[in-house]
Amino acid sequence: MRITRISVYQVDLPLHEGSYKWSGGKSVDVFDSTVVRIETDAGVAGHGEVCPLGPFYLPSYAAGARTGIAELAPDLIGEDPTHIRKLVRRMDALLQGHPYVKSAIDIACWDILGQVSGVPVCVLLGGRYADDFVLYRAISQETPEQMAAKVAGYRSEGYRRFQLKVGGDADVDIARIHAVAAELQDGDRLVADANTGWLMHDAMRVVKAVRDLDVYIEQPCATYDECLSVRRNTNHPFVLDESIDGVSVLMKGFSDGAMDVVNIKISKFGGLTKAAQARDLCASLGIAMTIEDSWGGDITTAAISHLAHSTPTELLFTSTDFNSYVTTSIADGAPQRNNGRLAASTEPGLGVAPRFDVLGEPVAVYQ
């Protein structure tokens, strides 16, 4: 099988809440997402999506995804999309770094391999665990009272895991964590995600002030070493996200005892191939995971669902259903949240059919 055409689509994804706010005053109103369609000489087509969390979260930005694909795609015409690890090595040889650029292409190849194999991608990634898996809800940064009210509202929709966006003024963040913790019920889990927003002294004040609360601390500071310093001075369960962007730092984190949970975002690692490699390594090492992506719509949510659903249940701390955050549906067949949980499609491949009436004409075609 050979790749005959790669088409790229751009789509805007507005938010039900109007905006999404996190550390350092960062905010996005409309997400700029990129969908890739890979066609083959066998008549099978696969799809992938990549959507950075604005240009200031990871070293990635929406137009950069499309520019990077323009760099790669002409050289991928004629490659076999079902030889995925070989194709990933080819992409790495063509373009140093820029993992997010490769993510949608990699996902589309898994979609093709699943379709030609007649099985869902989660089966290719190791097998389906249980009927469904648990989601968290991200609570955009607002006042302590507004965030506590959001948690109560989202719990009534079935969510039981909540990730507070903190990483602002330490005193306000302490109030945010206390206000939300007061709303929690038995079985709820609370994560305070600073998204690199605190200096070490801020982080130490916060963890001391919430010492008696049952709360996970996620990525308090900008660098791995700063986070490790905080980690060594607190007894809260500890999550690393932004600092863990590949296997070598993951191994270092394990050997340093730097975290209890790792956040694996598909595009941060460069696609399902490398995210699954990190997932399998974490599973072997006993490190629990949040499995998700930076952002996205229906196709990203489908890709997440296959990686999450093929992760051993006890090792999957939580996952995300971005398609319920955004107002625009870009594909039929994507998984839909039910009582705070999600399940991967049982159809071959990703199980999604893009809505080309929504995506419009491609912004670029390579053939």
* Catalytic annotation, residues: 165, 265
Q: Which stretch binds Mg ion (CB under 5 A): 100-108, 125-133, 234-242, 355-363?
A: 234-242
User: Is 294:52 a contact under the CB 8 Å cutoff?
Assistant: yes
φ, ψ (nearest 5 deg) of residue 341? -135, 165
Q: Which is nearer to Mg ion, 305 or 318 (CB)?
A: 318
Q: How far is the CB of 197 from Mg ion (least distance, A)?
A: 11
Counts for the chain of helices (H) and strands (E), in that order: 13, 18
Q: Which is nearer to Mg ion, 110 or 159 (CB)?
A: 159
Amino acid, single-letter form, for residue 254: F
Altogether, the residues listed in the chain come to a count of 367
The residue whose two tokens read 């696969």 is: 46
The answer to whether 321 contacts Mg ion (rule: CB under 5 A) is no
* Terminal-residue alpha carbon distance, the chain: 15
Q: How far is the CB of 96 from Mg ion (least distance, A)?
A: 26
Instruction: Let me know if 360 is exposed, middle or buried by CB neighbors in 10 A (0-12, 13-18, 19+).
Output: exposed
Q: Residue of minimal CB distance from Mg ion?
A: 241
Give the Cα separation of 177 and 192 in Å (integer).
Answer: 7
What distance lies between CA 314 and its chain's CA centroid?
19
Interface mask toward Mg ion for 188-227; x: CB under 5 A: -----x----------------------------------
Q: How far is the CB of 193 from Mg ion (least distance, A)?
A: 5
Interface mask toward Mg ion for 238-277; x: CB under 5 A: ---x---------------------x--------------
Q: How far is the CB of 83 from Mg ion (least distance, A)?
A: 33
Question: In the window 174-193, what residues touch Mg ion (CB under 5 A)?
Answer: 193
Q: Footprint of Mg ion on this chain (CB under 5 A)? A: 193, 241, 263
